[in-house]
Amino acid sequence: MSSPYNAEPHQYPTTRYPGQTPVPPVGATPYGAYPPPTTGYLPPEAWPAVQRDPRNPPVLANPGQRLGGHALDFLFVFLGCVVIGIVFLVIGRVTGRPGNEPEGGALLVCHIVAMLAWVVLYDPVQTVLWGRTLGKRCAGTRAVPLARPTERLGFGQALGRWLLDLTMTLVPFLGLLNALWLLWDRPYYQCLHDKVVQTAVIRHRG
């Protein structure tokens, strides 16, 4: 004989009224709770929805942030070259070595090497150390690996990204095309140099 304690509980009929919110089943996400975090990237248009999620999944930077950070980085590189030039000019004046003397030639070589090092290493060194450059810091963005958006770029990937960007900039029209490519690229808003090295630029919050 079956025990009444093992019997299934009686299912009472429920009546739903117009406009009534359905009650979630046992084990489901309670009403008002946040959904599971979204994997991968979200387009900038999804930013208001992401703000309501305290876990903050990575969100792509919009084209304005990308172009602004890009322009600021080239401005900082140019200003750095000007400062290096002034420093070596002062050194030449203080030491009194004209450019036609052997010592002046060595000073000129050091000037060129220092300027090239600044131009080439400006982006990758900052990206490896802090995850973003001065321009990206001002624009509120940072470059990340496309497949691992929570990690920083390695030095090789950061160096290749910057050298590709610099090379394309020196080629007539190619630099402009590279910078504007993100305006119609979907879904990752990548420039051409991002596509080659598989990187993306996301918003940096905090």
d(CA 51, CA 59): 10
**In a structure prediction context, what are the per-residue pLDDT tens digits for the chain, which is 206 residues long?**
555 555 555 554 555 545 444 554 544 444 444 444 444 556 665 555 555 554 666 788 888 888 899 889 989 999 999 999 999 988 888 886 555 565 667 888 999 999 999 999 999 999 999 889 999 999 999 998 988 887 889 999 999 999 999 899 889 899 899 988 988 888 888 999 999 999 999 988 65
Domain residue limits at 97? 63-203
Domain membership of residue 54 (yes or no) is no
pLDDT at site 148: 83
pLDDT at site 29: 46
Query: Per the structure, how many domains does the chain have?
Result: 1
Domain membership of residue 30 (yes or no) is no
Domain membership of residue 178 (yes or no) is yes
- Model confidence pTM above 0.85: no
- CB count within 10 Å of CB 114 equals 16
pLDDT at site 38: 46
Residues whose CB is less than 8 angstroms from the CB of residue 134 and which lie 6 or more positions away in sequence, other chains included: 72, 73, 76, 126
CB 151 within 8 A of CB 188: no
Residues whose CB is less than 8 angstroms from the CB of residue 26 and which lie 6 or more positions away in sequence, other chains included: none
- CB count within 10 Å of CB 176 equals 12
d(CA 105, CA 127): 34
Residues whose CB is less than 8 angstroms from the CB of residue 4 and which lie 6 or more positions away in sequence, other chains included: none
Domain membership of residue 159 (yes or no) is yes
Domain membership of residue 36 (yes or no) is no
Domain membership of residue 75 (yes or no) is yes
Structure tokens at 184: 């119609």
Domain membership of residue 32 (yes or no) is no
Domain membership of residue 21 (yes or no) is no
